[in-house]
Amino acid sequence: MLTRRTLTSVGLIALFSFLIAGIADAQTRWPGKPANPGPGEMRRSYSRSGTVGRGYRPLSTWSYQNSARVNAQSLYLYGENCPEVEPATVKEHVAEIRRNVAAASRELDKLDEQTIRDAKISGEVDALRKNYEAIEEHCGMAERCVAGTSVETGKLCECCGSLEDELDAAHKTHQKMLDKLGIKQTTPDAGSSDQKEPKR
């Protein structure tokens, strides 16, 4: 006959087995980390390697977006101040904008679903992707300002103004995302709207 002590022992063994299985599952999903890492764990990961998720590099993303914005500003100033802009100049700066935005987009791809879910940044990730798509469209419009050996500078300025707006929006969204990830931006905020704007 099973005694109360025997039943208690069996129950405790079952409970411990369940807890051990749960811990093992958590270790499989996040080796050495809690099953659902919060901002604290993400901050520690960033402090160790400068990365979050599957290698997302926030400062590299900031750098790519800022470089794209500087190229858009340069194109705007060419269009505003130079009546005969070289087509090669337009193509070169548009190529740089595309290259940097593509690099920022690749960084975004490194944010895994677990990190996005735990940090509640799905809205920011979606907004950044839309910004990047809009930037690509405006780059195409800027290229179409080149007509043979001449450039329609008025249209170029309009396109570059829209490019700046999208890049500024991307910068602000990225900053919100960093706040949710618990990452403090320590570099000069060169991409912010507080800096001097060439747009008029």
- Asked if residue 144 belongs to a domain, the reply is yes
Give Cβ neighbours of residue 33 (< 8 Å, ≥ 6 apart).
41
Tell me, yes or no, whether 89 lies in a domain. yes
Would residue 13 count as lying in a domain? Answer: no
Q: pTM score, two decimals? A: 0.72
Q: What is the pLDDT of residue 41?
A: 62
Residue 184 has pLDDT above 80, yes or no: no
What is residue 7's predicted lDDT score, i.e. its pLDDT? 46
- Domain membership of residue 3 (yes or no) is no
Output the pLDDT for position 46.
64
Structural domain includes residue 107 = yes
Overall number of domains in the chain: 1
The answer for residues whose C-beta is within 8 angstroms of residue 18's C-beta and 6 or more apart is none
Residue 120 forms part of a structural domain: yes
CA–CA separation, 46 vs 56, rounded Å? Answer: 9
What pLDDT score does 48 carry?
Answer: 67
Does residue 93 belong to any structural domain of this protein? yes
By residue range, what is the domain housing residue 164? 39-181
Closest of 155, 27, 28 to residue 90, by C-alpha: 155
Helix, strand, or coil here: 194? coil
The pLDDT value recorded for residue 55 is 87
Give the CATH number of the domain where residue 45 resides.
1.20.120
Is 7 among the domain residues?
no
CB 70 within 8 A of CB 160: no
